[in-house]
Structure 1
């Protein structure tokens, strides 16, 4: 396993304990009442992103962005999608076919453990989901796929904590190109772009923030099939001088039409709209306001049972 892969594996592992205790309730039920708006577990995200910030790794976008990826995958599992087909998975290897996972569960324990160890040693599985688009392979940050369906959800994330105006144009060009590349090959998939910025942009570069809002809106599909199914923006901030800085989500400056709730609603609804009614039954039930159990094997549930 290469150095980069090892670093990514360790980065995801540092979020496991936080995700273990994270809520897994339906995101469309809030305080016992059914809502039409997705209710993200922002407290979980704040706890996740505080980990790289406290270790002074926020400017190393890889670890910070992977915290965002881990959270979005968790939110998709909360929405009712099968834990085995949502990548990054809640345990290593983060990217692995659900068929292999099912095989491992059916094998004798000793053989299953040996094969699992071999997979973790790099014989199979990955920390990256590389998806073939129309023109090139794209490393996609959050994916929902199975060999029988193909990719159903492809989500790209970007995190920007400084040098906003300097790098914004490059992010825009990259994002637009990636949308065209993926949508051309998978026109029915939910293809999303989620952008996380540090809220210091509001004071240090307000013009760059206005450009960001405009960019997020213009990256969407206007009916020509080239833009994203959904786009979203999130602002976060923390105190650099605190001994143990805590990341907090900054809600009010982000317009509702590009906020996280509408983004998650659009991604989920896009998947459900183009699939038969007997697929993603738990997600459909949760979307309708029912308290449906989560489908598939979830290592977090298994670990909780073992501990408690």
Structure 2
């Protein structure tokens, strides 16, 4: 009898379906619109975000599984592909393996057809191949390795974009100080080794904090804003205010989510080698699940302007493109420029 798949494995199957439906065949909509200042502004796909955030609520899993925060990572990587960055440039990828260096992907594509299929099968069926693929990525900062949630990188350029995500659904006053303290340290560690990389921090927060702990919310919003203004911290910070029914709250949400902490040097132990393997649920089953996902709303109107996802993505993408030559990331530049051409 086959073992029951892990919650993260199930989540990936549903996440992948949602992302594929939003970008059929890998064809993404153009997210850029002309802002009130006459400059291109990123318009996030909040409908897809709401669906992704509904997955951990459907699975009834707590923050300690990593699934609730993973929904934010999947959405950010999807939005970066909407911006025009390649599938193999942005991690996590929209299929297994989630972390695959672009040169490795290019090498496999260059192989003779007689062996290419076997090589691709080997990559996709193995979540973690030491020093080649992984289910998550770690980057060396000034002093230590740090797991980073969403990345754009290549062997030629090194890290170009590094985004850390955190999520909190309850116990705000108890856990918020720890999350902020960790984020300050992570920012300085990464910024000092990778000064040209666009560095961002996204915080997912359940909206009931506005009623339950308004003073904590005010304090937290202020610190998040300051994190994006410090010379040696993040280039941009973001707040995603999530609203959903109380009876859908993740289980064990009152317990503090463990931090990965400082990673040991060298290859990391493969403790999740089977985490991201495909569940192979019938397509009709996944479609039924997606249609019945718990409803989640994004409270744009309650989010401070300087922490809005639109401003966050606009700022980071502009920084990536400004730090590279015009003959790199050509599709991303073309998409951003198209809104001026159609004015």
Shift of 1:11: 3.4
Q: Return closer, same or farther for 1:9/1:97 CA change in 2, 3 Å cut-off.
A: farther
Equivalent position of 1:269 in the other structure: 318
Distance in 1 (CA, whole Å) between partners of 2:243 and 2:114 is 47
RMSD over equivalenced CA pairs, Å: 2.4
So what's the TM-score if we normalise by structure 1? 0.86
**Partner-residue secondary structure (3-state), 1:81:** coil
Structure 2 counterpart of 1:22: 22
Partner of 1:278: 327
> Does the Cα contact within 8 Å between 1:9 and 1:127 map onto a contact in 2?
no
Identify the match of residue 218 of structure 1 among 223, 226, 229: 226
- Listed one character per residue, the Cα deviations across residues 17-44 of structure 1 (whole Å, up to 9, x for unaligned) are 00001152111138xxx97321000000
Following the alignment from structure 1 to structure 2, what is the Cα–Cα distance between the partners of residues 56 and 8? Answer: 12
Match of 1:161 in 2: 169
- Contact (CA 8 Å) 2:237, 2:312: kept in 1 or not? yes
Structure 1 274/244 Cα, relative in aligned 2: closer, same or farther at 3 Å? closer
Contact kept, 8 Å, 1:12 with 1:67, in 2: the verdict is: no
Aligned length: 284
Mapped contact 1:195–1:232 kept (Cα < 8 A): yes
Aligned to 1:252: 301
- Within a 5 Å distance, the mapping from 1:118-133 to structure 2 comes to 118-119=122-123, 120-121=125-126, 122-123=128-129, 124-133=132-141
Deviation at 1:13, TM superposition (A): 3.1
Higher RCO, 1 vs 2 (CA within 8 Å, ≥6 residues apart)? 2
Aligned residue runs from structure 1 range 98-247, under 5 A: 98-109=102-113, 111-119=115-123, 120-121=125-126, 122-123=128-129, 124-222=132-230, 224=231, 226-241=232-247, 245-247=294-296
Residues 15 and 107 of structure 1: is their aligned pair in 2 closer, same or farther, counting only changes over 3 Å?
same
Change (3 A) 1:7 1:139: farther
- 5+ residue gaps, structure 2, are 1-5, 249-291
TM-score for both structures, normalised by structure 2: 0.77
1:63 aligns with 2:67: yes
Matched residues in 1 for 2:236 and 2:86: separation?
Answer: 21
Q: Which residue in 1 is equivalent to 2:49?
A: 45
Provide Cα deviations, 1:142-179, integer angstroms capped at 9, x if missing partner. 00000000000000000111111111110111000000
Distance 1:104 1:9 in 2: 25
Please state if 1:288 is matched with 2:337.
yes
Could you say what secondary structure the match of 1:277 adopts?
coil
Deviation at 1:12, TM superposition (A): 2.7
Where do 4+ consecutive residues of structure 1 move more than 6 Å?
none
Question: Which deviations, in whole Å up to 9, do the C-alpha atoms of 1:93-133 show, x marking residues without a partner?
Answer: 00011111122223244522332333332334101111000
Secondary structure, aligned partner of 1:252: helix
Question: Of residues 84, 87, 94 in structure 2, which corresponds to 1:83?
Answer: 87
Provide structure 1 residue ranges, at least 5 long, that are not aligned to the other structure. 1-5, 293-308
Partner of 1:11: 11
Question: Partners in 1 of 2:308 and 2:221 — Cα distance?
Answer: 10
